[in-house]
Amino acid sequence: MTAVRLPRLICSSVIRSVHQGESHGGVYLVDLHTGTAERMIDWSDDAIDWEGRGGDRGLRGIAFHDDKVYLAASDEVFVYDRDLRRAGSFRNRYLKHCHEINVSGDRLYLASTGYDSVLEYDLTAQTFSRAWMLRYGPSAKLVKRLGQAIERRPRPRYRQYDPTGNDGPGPADTTHINNVWPHEGAVYACGTRLGTIWKIPLSEGSSARASAFATVPYGTHNARPFRNGVLFNHTASDHIVYADRSGVTRASFALPDYPREELEHADLPGDLARPTFGRGLTVLDDAIVIGGSSPATVTAFDLETTDRLASVTITMDVRNAVHGLEVWPFDGPVP
């Protein structure tokens, strides 16, 4: 492909295995063209009230609407202006362990992992408007084992509910929904335990049901429709993968790896922190794929050649992993 100036990006990072009083990550502006990164928000800032906010989980998904930046924490969404000055926040009783968030029109969609749910927030009315649950029943583990043997995926129970009411589901994390992607009249949801991207229609009809859109490996992050297939972080193999809807790989991109002696805190157990953990994913003009990994690194790939175009490493601390990742949409410098 012809040379292209790579953009600035905004990314959130989460530092695992730390305690209150230490930095739990933050928000960075990363310039792939100059190879630089600047921390704009530190999640250990004393101005942040940690009580009840899942502060030890750090900041996660990132979305934009008009001149506002939305950053997801565990059970609260923080609102910032384009200069990254905090302007407010909002919560919901069914929002817990929030991961990715995305905007379509005047609606914000949120992955509420702790309630097996996708929530919809009306940005104009500033109220939660709809919610959908995808939850496994008690036999899910057995069904999943049988499904893996015969290459079929179990179907979760589906339910639409009012996120402002009292009759929503109780807390549970059976499907680990971690990504939502609104597109062409539907919202697509996936999670590490689903093995399927589920398509939830946004029409108001009572007969609207969720349907299986694509098969993806268990354990994936950031799974979403892309071109005529799907794109996702295949975290188990340390690759970003572009596949068809049946799960056949069309292109794959190896995330950066580093010699162990160059890493900080490399002796931690892998279930707490490990290098090359792929998370955070965005694209530029459907031709360049940009992904995040640990230690906090942002890397751009050419979709056609799978060549690595640029990579910026924020830190060599293996505990520090990129989570949310988006192209920075605002022109001009940020003070």
Residue 48 has pLDDT above 90, yes or no: no
CATH code, domain with 258:
2.40.128.630
CA distances from 85 to 38, 93, 95, 118, 248 (A): 15, 26, 23, 27, 44
CB-based contact 177:118 (threshold 8 Å): yes
* Rounded-to-integer distance, Cα 241 and Cα 307, Å: 14
- For residue 136, what pLDDT is reported? 92
Whether the CA torsion 16, 223, 226, 209 is positive or negative: it is negative
Q: What is the mean pLDDT of residues 199-221?
A: 86
* Rounded-to-integer distance, Cα 235 and Cα 223, Å: 11
Range of the domain at 86: 8-295+310-327
pLDDT tens digit sequence for 65-122? 999 999 998 899 999 999 999 999 999 999 999 999 999 999 999 999 999 999 999 9
| Banded pLDDT at 315 (limits 50, 70, 90) | confident
User: Is residue 27 one of the residues assigned to a domain?
Assistant: yes
* Rounded-to-integer distance, Cα 233 and Cα 26, Å: 21
Six-digit token pair at 9?
Answer: 């990006």
Angle at 21 between CA 17 and CA 24, to 5 degrees: 45
Six-digit token pair at 177?
Answer: 């929904």
Q: What is the mean pLDDT of residues 181-196?
A: 94
User: Is residue 219 one of the residues assigned to a domain?
Assistant: yes
Q: 297 vs 266, which has greater pLDDT?
A: 297
* Rounded-to-integer distance, Cα 237 and Cα 274, Å: 13
CB-based contact 190:243 (threshold 8 Å): no
* Rounded-to-integer distance, Cα 192 and Cα 209, Å: 21
Q: 57 vs 241, which has greater pLDDT?
A: 241
User: Is residue 333 one of the residues assigned to a domain?
Assistant: no
DSSP run (H or E) holding 84: none
User: Is residue 199 one of the residues assigned to a domain?
Assistant: yes
What mean pLDDT value characterizes the chain?
85
User: Is residue 246 one of the residues assigned to a domain?
Assistant: yes
* Rounded-to-integer distance, Cα 12 and Cα 139, Å: 36
| Banded pLDDT at 5 (limits 50, 70, 90) | confident
The percent of residues above 90 in pLDDT, for the chain, comes to 64
Residue 175 has pLDDT above 60, yes or no: yes
- Number of domains into which the chain is organized: 1
CB-based contact 188:198 (threshold 8 Å): yes
40: alpha, beta or left? (left if phi > 0; alpha if psi -120 to 50): alpha
Q: How many CB atoms lie within 10 A of CB 86?
A: 15
User: Is residue 21 one of the residues assigned to a domain?
Assistant: yes
User: Is residue 250 one of the residues assigned to a domain?
Assistant: yes
User: Is residue 1 one of the residues assigned to a domain?
Assistant: no
DSSP run (H or E) holding 201: strand 196-201
Q: What is the mean pLDDT of residues 278-307?
A: 92
